[in-house]
């Protein structure tokens, strides 16, 4: 059984046991989070598609860890002006494991 959920402004196709790196959530490590914006549940003949969401459907996940991604180097340069600017960025994320899909 698969489900399509929305979190952090992005859509993810998940199934039980899958591991995701999503936008940072306000949840501690080993906490349980519930995603209630379920767009569809896909199960062969018994698929349910919401309009816009499936009523009563919940996807549960366990937070594995919170962290930061790899560093991105942003370099701005203007030719013949002697102007250089170096900026770095590390995007925070939450790593979750899907534990259940309930309809």
pLDDT of residue 27: 94
15-63 residue pLDDT tens:
999 999 999 999 999 999 999 999 999 998 889 999 999 999 999 999 9
Task: Please confirm whether the linkage preceding 96 is cis (ω < 30° from 0).
Answer: no
Q: Which band of pLDDT confidence, cut at 50, 70 and 90, is reported for residue 7? A: very high
pLDDT of residue 103: 85
Where are the domains positioned within the chain?
2-67+93-102
Work out the average pLDDT over 60-79: 96
Quote the mean pLDDT of the chain.
Answer: 95
């Amino acid at each position: 059984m698969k489900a399509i959920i929305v979190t952090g402004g992005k859509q993810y196709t998940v199934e039980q046991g899958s591991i995701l790196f999503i936008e940072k959530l306000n949840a501690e490590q080993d906490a349980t989070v519930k995603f209630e914006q379920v767009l569809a549940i896909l199960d062969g003949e018994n698929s349910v598609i919401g309009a816009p969401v499936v009523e009563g459907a919940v996807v549960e996940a366990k937070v594995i860890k919170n962290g930061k991604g790899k560093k991105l180097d942003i370099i701005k340069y203007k030719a013949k002006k002697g102007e250089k600017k170096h900026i770095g960025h590390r995007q925070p994320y939450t790593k979750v494991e899907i534990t259940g899909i309930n309809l």
